[in-house]
């Protein structure tokens, strides 16, 4: 009997074609390009041997119960896996995988740099200014931004993506790099001259701070009111990691009070809402010194196809009795 696989949302076709070409699997795909309603998810997973999930679906005890005792694998279409109850899966001996890939690292690193440029050169604000017909004449003080060359970049977390950001900014713009992590990154220090700092010292010294750590209990609200007060009033925060790493209410207050200069956000605490608090949502949308993108840091054709292919290869390895290359431990 073929393995029954339920795909919780239509994904790029690279991985789907790989799975369809294998006679040992049978696919059931939720084809709508929208988040699957919870009730339908619980109904559709019934009898599945494998669930190919995306980060918007909570893979928790309820889903595992609904699927049934034959569920053997959850292949998560995402680099992060905070939407999966990994402990519950392990208790049931369900294999969990994710989709890290160099293409994803490159895309998120590029998006981080794009947010950096947008903030420093006020791209979104100046675009709106020009479209509104407000540009009447060049002026020496018109919409002044800030340069990147020679400034200090603080990177919180130097895994694959954080390190990619460091190399781009050091090699391309000669920025001074500070980093904070659980362990020293000697390779990064050697190749870019990056200097290790505690998070507190990094925040005090940096002109730009970019978050690149996973969402864990220890990183929840890693950036909150105390941390914002340490930052320079001219500094900018960028978050392309996970929303709850930043206390968004504290961030809104810091922006409102000009404790920091601005922020670039691709992820949010109350996703898909921009924030948990309705007032914070309204303020963030109106702030000209904030750039908001809808969790699209990895949204390139190349990255999303690579993620699809990686998810499929994880599944096919499991089906063949092998340990999936990206099994979560």
Active-site amino acid positions: 242, 271, 295
Q: Which of 283, 55, 258 is nearest to 275 (CA)?
A: 283
Q: State residue 48 phi and psi, 5-degree precision.
A: -75, 140
Our CA dihedral for 261, 266, 272, 275, rounded to 10 degrees, sits at -20
User: Which two structure tokens, joined as six digits, stand for 77?
Assistant: 């279409």
Gap between the Cα atoms of 314 and 5, Å rounded? 13
Angle at 311 between CA 21 and CA 181, to 5 degrees: 160
Helix H or strand E encompassing 192: helix 186-192
Gap between the Cα atoms of 38 and 26, Å rounded? 22
Q: Are 262 and 238 in contact (CB under 8 A)?
A: no
Gap between the Cα atoms of 15 and 30, Å rounded? 15
Length of the chain counted residue by residue: 329
Q: State residue 198 phi and psi, 5-degree precision.
A: -65, 160
What are the residues facing 76 on neighbouring strands? 53
């Amino acid at each position: 009997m073929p393995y029954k696989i339920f795909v919780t949302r239509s994904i790029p076709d690279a991985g789907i074609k790989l799975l369809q070409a294998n006679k040992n699997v049978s696919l059931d795909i939720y084809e709508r390009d929208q988040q699957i309603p919870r009730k339908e998810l619980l109904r559709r997973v019934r009898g599945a041997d494998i669930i190919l999930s995306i980060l918007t679906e909570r893979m928790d005890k309820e889903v595992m119960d609904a699927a049934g005792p034959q569920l053997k694998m959850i292949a998560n279409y995402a680099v992060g896996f905070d939407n999966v109850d990994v402990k519950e899966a392990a208790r049931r001996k369900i294999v969990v995988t994710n989709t890290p890939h160099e293409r994803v690292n490159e895309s998120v690193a590029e998006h981080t740099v794009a947010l950096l440029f947008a903030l420093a050169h006020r791209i979104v604000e100046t675009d709106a200014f020009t479209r509104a017909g407000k540009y009447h004449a060049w002026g020496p003080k018109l919409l002044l931004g800030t340069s990147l060359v020679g400034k200090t970049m603080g990177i919180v977390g130097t895994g694959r993506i954080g390190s990619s950001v460091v190399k781009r900014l050091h090699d391309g713009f000669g920025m001074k790099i500070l980093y904070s992590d659980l362990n020293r990154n000697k390779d990064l220090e050697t190749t870019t001259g990056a200097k290790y700092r505690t998070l507190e010292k990094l925040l005090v010294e940096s002109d730009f701070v970019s978050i690149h750590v996973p969402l864990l209990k220890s990183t929840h609200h890693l950036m909150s009111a105390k941390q914002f007060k340490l930052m320079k009033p001219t500094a900018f925060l960028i978050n392309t990691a996970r929303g709850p790493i930043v206390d968004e209410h504290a961030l809104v207050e810091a922006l409102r009070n000009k404790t920091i200069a601005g922020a670039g956000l691709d992820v949010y605490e109350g996703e898909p809402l921009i924030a948990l608090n309705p007032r914070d949502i309204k303020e963030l949308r109106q702030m000209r010194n904030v750039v908001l993108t809808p969790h699209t840091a990895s949204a390139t054709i190349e990255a999303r196809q690579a993620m699809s292919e990686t998810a499929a290869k994880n599944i096919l390895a499991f089906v063949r009795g092998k340990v999936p290359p990206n099994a979560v431990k």
